[in-house]
Amino acid sequence: MKCQICDTEAPAWSWTDTHGIAQCWTCGTPYRIIHYDDNQKRIEKEPEIVVKAEHLEHVGEYWNTFGKRIPSGCSFEGGQELATHAECLAFYDWWDEHVERKVSA
């Protein structure tokens, strides 16, 4: 498998504070790596990106432009989040300036 954002082959994972969700060690993109069936029995399944389809392009644009980790949105600050406080602030400032303006236009 390859990370859909940074194209890292067979990415290393870092757990988030959310059960079953880990981040790509390279770019911070969250993936569900533990899966369950409808009866809550654990099943084997490939990692699934946890970024909404309509935002994949934006997250990819941020990574390609800055090469900095994105905040996963699945961890508390000071918890398991890979992105630093400064990286989180930079991402959300960029998001507000570039993405929110496009969505509301």
HSE-up of 18 (CA within 13 Å, CB side)?
A: 17
Closest alpha carbon to 15 in 79, 88, 91: 79
- The pLDDT value recorded for residue 105 is 47
- Spatial contact of 5 and 24, defined as CB atoms under 8 Å apart: yes
| Spatial distance between the Cα atoms of 25 and 16, rounded to a whole number of angstroms | 11
Both tokens of 21, joined, read 């969700």
Which residues are registered as beta bridge partners of 23? 14, 30
Which residues are registered as beta bridge partners of 64? none
pTM for this entry: 0.90
Distance from the first to the final alpha carbon of the chain? 36
Tens-binned pLDDT, residue by residue, of the chain (105 aa): 999 999 999 999 999 999 999 999 999 999 999 999 999 999 999 999 999 999 999 999 999 999 999 999 999 878 999 999 999 999 999 999 988 766 554
- Residue spans of the domains in the chain: they are 13-104
